[in-house]
Chain A
């Protein structure tokens, strides 16, 4: 049972445009969500996170939106840059619980110059 789903395996956008990466989850106990960026043969790098008590968190070009009723979150990157091309993982966990991060399968973002 996949508790965190990223239904789009890939996304291609033009440089300067907005990239929107989506993530759905099924476990209503999740109360903290994170986005990671990963280049091939490297470990994931933390990008941005959001607690379930918020519906939006912004950091520079990156904004994460959380819709708890829909169990959906999204990562917006604007403007997109070629260096943003990577695989993006959505992750979730229950604070104070097992604290295991549960990852989606990732979305490969390609930003074309």
Chain B
């Protein structure tokens, strides 16, 4: 299947700093990318949907100024957690899908963020 690479896999940062997570589709053009967050013992929570070249659409309750999403090219989307706090510590996962008609979404490996 298609490959989606997410980097870094683990990051520890100090409270108040910002962290950038990258999501790359390696062998296909991802017109749509999704960012998820997984809480312990809970499902994947969709944070936002981004389409290449346009602003991300955030889910209700997700702070767009805190979780900045950029989808500047068809192979790269970034999630920046700004002014991170310990409660932002979580597992973040991106997924990517090709154009309409492409029904499978391929997931990155995830990023474990720990804010200390």
Contacts and interface: CB of A to CB of B under 8 A. Distances in A.
B107 to A, nearest CB: 4
B43 A104 contact: yes
A43 B6 contact: yes
B93 A105 contact: no
- The residue among B93, B100, B107 with the most chain A CB atoms within 10 A of its own CB is B107
B100 to A, nearest CB: 7
Interface string B67-96: 000000000000000000000000101110
A94 B35 CA distance: 18
Interface of B: 1, 4, 6, 32, 34, 42-44, 46, 49, 91, 93-95, 97, 100, 103-110, 112
Contacts of A102: 46
A41 B44 contact: no
Interface in A37-89: 41-46, 49, 51, 89
* Prevailing SS type, chain B contact patch: strand
Contacts of B6: 43
Nearest to A90: B43
Contact of B107 (A43, A98, A106): A43
A63 B21 CA distance: 35
B107 A46 contact: yes
Contacts of A36: 107
Contacts of B112: 41
6 contacts: A41-B110, A42-B109, A44-B93, A46-B106, A95-B103, A100-B49
